[in-house]
Copies of this chain bind each other. A is one copy, B any other.
Amino acid sequence: MTVTIYDVAREANVSMATVSRVVNGNPNVKPSTRKKVLATIERLGYRPNAVARGLASKKTTTVGAIIPDISNIFFSELARGIEDIATMYKYNIILSNSDSKKENELQLINTMLEKQVDGILFMGGNITDEHIQQFKTSSVPVVLAATYDSSNEIPSVNIDYELAGYEATKDLIENNNNQQPAIVISVPDAPVNKLKYEGYLRALEESNIEFSEELVITVDYSYDGGITAAEKLLELEALPSSVFVTFDEVAIGVIHGFQDRGYNVPEDIQVFGFDNTKLAKMVRPTLSTVVQPMYDIGAVAMRLLTKYMNKEEVTDKNVVLPHRLEKRNSTTSN
């Protein structure tokens, strides 16, 4: 049926070891026999069986990627970064969605390990001790992408969320006469979001702004969550002059929530987002936001993982990529 290395060996009058050498680019093969082998491979349409190879070599050139939700624009960009670098290094990706549920995550890690992946790229919300435990006892390296582990035990690639939150808030404060910006938080339990909030608080503190709790709004991580947030903000006695929204998609909902009720952004209220997904340029007014380089995070995380898989030396185990503020029209009246 399927043609094996053994068939090729027989047809080419060499041993299977030689065929294996040719297939794997081992230099210890006489050019003439290499040519002969290559010819019969071509003739028979031989295609190496990666599963058999994996069993014999204990390497599958496959890595597992556990991601909350690939249909989320943030993660799909991240995934693209991962994929591109993986391809560059000849790895394939087994991609699975966890919906950020611990149970799914732990289960998926196990499945990936069963499939003998050479490494795991993990994206998630909350890293629990159980996660850490599983990562540390894993037989293959694990790298976290856009996922914060406060213990810093697991290699990771992130931006400085606290600083980013601080800077965005600071910008809003400075442009609004030292008034407290509101903040719209989603998935408040996820450490990265806590960090954004901490940055927000630090900025308030530094500007000696008296903190009003009612300006902290928690809503779903969704466009509709943003609409809801706008409604909540409009129910307050006084509309704050600005709002920091911790996800672009939610921020766009906030903008439209205001606009649909006759308010103008940025005139009535300025809106600052977070992530710089491509959505940020696809609204009117365009969204000022914190640039988080999703693609790069994915790419760098994958690169880092290859280093671990190849047992290369790693100097920087917890990579912090630069971020910046991109000011657009949702904060700038012009």
Give chain A's interface residues, CB within 8 Å of chain B.
2, 47-52, 54-55, 60, 62, 69-73, 76-77, 79-80, 83-84, 87, 92-97, 110-111, 113-116, 139, 223, 249, 252-253, 256, 259-260, 278-279, 281-284, 295
Contact = CB atoms under 8 A, between A and B. Distances in A.
A83 B96 contact: yes
A84 B104 CA distance: 12
A140 to B, nearest CB: 11
Given A73-B73, A252-B282, A282-B223, A116 B83 contact: no
B79 A71 contact: yes
Copies in the complex: 2
A321 B158 CA distance: 41
Given A55-B55, A60-B51, A70 B70 contact: yes
Contact of A80 (B70, B84, B260): B70
A118 to B, nearest CB: 11
B70 A73 contact: no
B55 A83 contact: no
A62 B96 CA distance: 12
B92 A92 contact: no
Contacts of A295: 71
B116 A49 contact: yes
